[in-house]
Chains A and B, each alone.
Chain A
Amino acid sequence: MKYFILILMLPLLAFSQEKTGAQIINKVNDLMNQESSEVTMTMTIITSSGQERTFEYLSYSVNFGEKNLIIYQAPSRVKGQKMLMLNQADDIWAYFPRTQRVRKLATHAKKQKFEGSDFSNEDLGSGDSFTTDYNAQLIDEENKAGYDCYVVELTRNPRADISYSRLIVWVRKSDYVPLIIDYYDDKNPDRLLKTLSQSNIQIIDGVPTAMRMIMHNHSDNTSTTVEIKKVKYNVPLDDELFTERGLKK
């Protein structure tokens, strides 16, 4: 009798050890949204005609990605401009130093390109969008770029106001770093728009961190590379920094 029950339970035990898409994406989300962070990065845009534009940013984040502040350091054209994103980028304010004005932007501004790059504001500051705006499903497991990966499909929730109908994410099994993300068109879920590749993964303050990201836009044949120059996690940051008044400082 005991033997019979064990046979019945074996498949259930095996199933419970398999991770679901939601569990994997929650792990990815936890990894990407640390309690706080301070990051210095450069962004290089390469246009279809081969022209390059390089920007330098300082980025602060607290409360597991709920509050984000981006300060433009270079080039001179944008130096001093700031962008504050609160409530997982549902509230956005932009500060322009020459006019010293703060302008609140509606969430549709998330769809605008970030300084003409292949990243949209939504790609950079959407916090826990993976877990709140999409439904996750594990669709495959495969070797990608030499690593064993989970392949998770994220399908947009019907009520979510986001620019992509679905995402396919290749998550490295060993540390849950998303190595590749495919972004699909808002209207046509079969049309691949952009691909993000993450590499040069280093352990910083105990957190596996992709120090290099390349976003390739398939329709424009342009690409944008982000290199992280310096990163610190779980640093004490004053809440005042993440206010409209803090933007003007």
Chain B
Amino acid sequence: MIKSVLLLIIFPVMLLSQQLEIFGYYEPQLLGVKMGDRYYNLASNKLRLDMSKELATVSFGANVNYVSYHGKTEWNLVDYLPQRIASQIPEFMHEYFTFYFGDLAQWSGPIPVPRPDRIFLDNAYAKIAYKKTDITIGKQQLGMGTGYTWNPTDHFNVKDVLDPTYEQTGHNAIRLESQLTSSLTVDSYFSPGAEIEDSGVMLKLKSRIGHFDFSILGIRNSWQRTDYLNPAAIADPNAALSRYQRHMLGGDLVGELLGLGVWAEGGYTFIDLREGMGLKDMHNFWELVAGLDYTFNSGLYLMGEFYRNTLLPDHWEDYTLNHWMWYFSTETKSMSRDNFFGLINYPVTDLFNLGIMVIQSVSDGSATLVPMMTWSLFQDVELTVYLNMNTGTDGRAYAANLGNGGMIRLRVFF
């Protein structure tokens, strides 16, 4: 009897596990920062569990992440602001600039600035594939554009310049991709907001000419900006929020020219204030990314990418508290108007790569140097290590007084 009951319970689980693919990774990570004569650690453990299943023309995908933080989990962003800006913030306001990693239930201070979740559903979607059309419904990846470090046409994600290939969180949307001809594809999404004006809509036409892929697109979505200079933010953070309607016309291309890999991405954004006080420096703006890369026969790989955003200041003395906070809280993709990303990578052995990244604010001349290595320790175990060294003077985007640091990350896949 007991055997029969057990079999009855176990059988569906076995059946389900045979159909459902489960995979993912475990990722311990240690981040260190040296500021002056102090050294701080922030460690994290992340477990990502992916599930996927296919039933005829319908596939399902989902993943759940659990991240726990240890070490220095409270960071006050005032410590990282330039002296001339930090000195203007009254002492009693400093606690409003706390960035807290971890469980908010354990947090007794005032509402901190945007913080990461500890457990979250990253993606959960169903994809229906017809002969010429795919429809994806649910929380899904909406990464756009051909840029490596910056993607002006991606209105949902801001990449970490120190780690641009790290996966992004998913977004709720209905996406439709349709192959009209062998060389023409239509890609579109609708990402619902609380109100129809808050929703995101995108339409993209993609085609090919020779060895070039290119696309043109139009995007409309809502953009929320916080005015950290507004004193009303102290009593009610919502009072300092302005909501804008953002319309972008743009495109991207990727291909090859004279043996070099080349890509570009950009667009012009029209801004309309929907509600709030409005920001005095807000205006229509251009964003552009252009890059090239090359691999030598030895395996040596070189890449360079340039990013311009005309909404952002061209001179470091024009950086305000708002610019710094938008950058820290990823409301903008960079601090300054003109930026450069360079990468040199070399496979020293089959399992070991050495490289260096240079991230520079062309506008203010500061840069950060990021030597790095990746090492395949075992079949499914990968080690990544990088250091970052800021070179600029106080007030610049990559000022030395922001601290130097590094990261060690182990990833165990299953």
Contacts and interface: CB of A to CB of B under 8 A. Distances in A.
A222 interface: yes
Interface in B71-90: none
Contacts of B134: 245, 248-249
A75 B256 CA distance: 32
Most buried by A among B213, B260, B379, B414: B379
A76 B21 CA distance: 11
A17 interface: no
A45 B350 contact: yes
A202 interface: no
Interface in A107-126: 107-109, 111-113, 116-118
Name the prevailing secondary structure of the B interface residues: strand
A92 to B, nearest CB: 10
A111 B297 contact: yes
Interface stretch (A28-36, A94-102, A131-139, A145-153): A94-102
Interface residues of A, number: 41
Contacts of B141: 99-101
Interface stretch (B98-106, B224-232, B234-242, B288-296): B288-296
A220 B255 contact: no
Interface stretch (A6-14, A47-55, A57-65, A174-182): A47-55
Contacts of B23: 76, 79
Given A45-B350, A101-B141, A244-B185, A108 B168 contact: no
A140 interface: no
Contacts of B261: 105-106, 108-109
Contact of B349 (A101, A112, A220): A220
B179 interface: yes
A249 B136 CA distance: 11
Given A77-B413, A104-B255, A222 B301 contact: no
Contact of A51 (B168, B256, B351): B351
Nearest to A239: B182
Nearest to A106: B261
Contacts of A113: 299, 347, 350
A204 B414 CA distance: 35
Contacts of B411: 77
A161 interface: yes
29 contacts: A47-B349, A51-B351, A53-B376, A76-B380, A77-B380, A77-B413, A90-B211, A98-B167, A99-B143, A99-B165, A99-B168, A100-B140, A100-B141, A101-B143, A104-B146, A107-B211, A108-B293, A112-B295, A113-B299, A116-B347, A116-B350, A118-B350, A186-B297, A240-B131, A244-B213, A245-B134, A245-B179, A248-B177, A249-B59
Interface of A: 45, 47-48, 51, 53-54, 75-77, 79, 90-91, 98-101, 103-109, 111-113, 116-118, 161, 163, 186, 220, 222, 239-240, 243-245, 248-249
